[in-house]
Amino acid sequence: MLYDREKCAICGMCAKLCPQKAIANVNNFMVTDPEKCIFCGECVTYCIPGARQVAGKEYTVEEVLAEVLKDRVFYEESSGGVTLSGGEPLVHIDFVEELLIRLKAEGIHTAVDTCGAIPFEHLERAAQHTDLFLYDLKLTDDAKHKEFTGASNKEIIENLENLARIHANIQMRMPIIEGVNAEVSHIESTIALLEAIDIKEVHLLPYHAIAKHKYAKLGRDYLDDKMQIPSKEKLEHFREMLAEQGYDVKGG
């Protein structure tokens, strides 16, 4: 349940209408008890300023497929397709595998966007059915990786090497964050790492702060003091470094 405090008129309508009595006014902040909320959306419908929103929706494979197929003409005309992303889609490997099989049967191009921090078996199962992997590589330095993500990158790198042996179409996605990894040494070590792996396309994804307002709506703190947007010059330099190695570099 997303809640925009700036839009809220604190009229109390949501609390009054909630069939679960899950909403209460705590110091002029309409707090929703996640234990009680059943996401029925009644409070959303009757919120005049539009301060409440249910994020996400549960779908069956069948429902996702129906939604996707509505745009079939557009995929055909654009040579486009469907990208499964997340969070980490491969956490839900059973669902993902079934959806990929169904999409393939419909002749629709698919891509899986993964962070790689997942048992290899999940990647293996997806690899049999998807046309393309979008594979994130955040940091080559394991210590720093632990510092910023809370986990080691060993599994991620191993998975990448193994995945490349069984799947021919992997695009690297490299977030570039000033204050974290926007350094020449990171690009150099990435190039060294990728040397033995068959990768042709690399995407540079400069950091942005668009998610900031979403954190506020969820009532969560946004840890951005260390993270900054990288300069255009830096990005251009990184792009050139990668292009020199023969990579097709997109984004930046």
Partner 1 sequence: MRGYTERTKRLRHQSVTTQPSISLERALLQTEFYEEHFGTVEMPILRALSFKHYIANRKLYIGDDELIVGEKSEGPQVAPTFPEICAHSVRDMQVMNARQLISFKVKDGDYALQAEKIIPYWKGKSTRDTILDAMAPEWKDAFAAGIFTEFMEQRAPGHTVADDKFYKKGFLDFKQEIEQSIAALDHVNDLEAYEKKTQLEAMAIACDAMVLYGQRYADYARELAAQEKDPERKEELLWIAGNCDVVPAHKPQTFAQAIQMYWFVHVGVTTELNLWDAYSPGKLDQYLNPFYQQEQAEGTINYDKARELLECLWIKFNNQPAPPKVGITLKESATYTDFANINTGGIDPYTGEDGVNDVSYLILDTMDEMKLLQPSSNVQVSEKNPDEFVKRAVEISRKGWGQPAFYNTEELIQELLNAGKTLEDARFGGASGCVETGAHGREAYCLTGYLNVPKIFEITMNNGFDKYTDKQIGLTTGNPVDFESYEELREAFMKQLDYFIDIKIAGNHKIETIFAKYLPSPLMSVVVDGCRQSGKDYNAGGARYNTRYIQIVGIGTMTDTLAAIKYNVFDQQRFTMANLVDAINANFEGHEMTRNLVLNHTPKYGNDDDYADDIMVDVFESVRDKIRGRKAVYGATYQIDMLPTTCHVYFGSVMTASANGRLAGVPLTDGISPEKGADIKGPTAVIRSASKMDHTSTGGTLLNQKFTPASIAGEEGLSNVTSLIRSYFKMMGHHIQFNVIDRAVLLEAQKKPEEYNDLIVRVAGYSDHFNNLEKALQDEIILRTEQGFN
Q: Which of 50, 86, 119, 219 binds partner 1 (CB under 8 A)?
A: 50
Check binding of 57 to partner 1 (CB under 8 A).
no
Nearer to partner 1, 69 or 191 (CB): 69
Check binding of 95 to partner 1 (CB under 8 A).
no
Residue 109 CA, distance from chain mean position: 19
Please state the closest distance from residue 131 (CB atom) to partner 1, in A. 18
Q: Which of 34, 70, 233, 246 binds partner 1 (CB under 8 A)?
A: 70
Check binding of 132 to partner 1 (CB under 8 A).
no
Two tokens, residue 73 = 């003409």
What gap in Å lies between CA 193 and CA 191, rounded to an integer?
Answer: 5
Check binding of 58 to partner 1 (CB under 8 A).
no
Check binding of 47 to partner 1 (CB under 8 A).
yes
What gap in Å lies between CA 34 and CA 62, rounded to an integer?
Answer: 28
Please state the closest distance from residue 47 (CB atom) to partner 1, in A. 8
What gap in Å lies between CA 242 and CA 174, rounded to an integer?
Answer: 11
**Dihedral, CA of residue 63, residue 64, residue 66 and residue 68, to nearest 10:** 170
Burial per residue of 86-102, b for 16 or more beta-carbon CB atoms within 10 angstroms, e otherwise:
eeebbeebeebbbbbeb
Check binding of 39 to partner 1 (CB under 8 A).
no
Nearer to partner 1, 71 or 141 (CB): 71
Q: Which of 35, 56, 58, 74 binds partner 1 (CB under 8 A)?
A: 74
Q: Which of residues 75-94 bind partner 1 (CB under 8 A)?
A: 76-78, 80
Please state the closest distance from residue 166 (CB atom) to partner 1, in A. 29
Nearer to partner 1, 80 or 119 (CB): 80
Number of residues that bind partner 1 (CB under 8 A): 14
Nearer to partner 1, 72 or 154 (CB): 72
Please state the closest distance from residue 105 (CB atom) to partner 1, in A. 22
Please state the closest distance from residue 68 (CB atom) to partner 1, in A. 11
Check binding of 6 to partner 1 (CB under 8 A).
no
Residues within the interface to partner 1 (CB under 8 A)? 44-48, 50, 70-71, 73-74, 76-78, 80
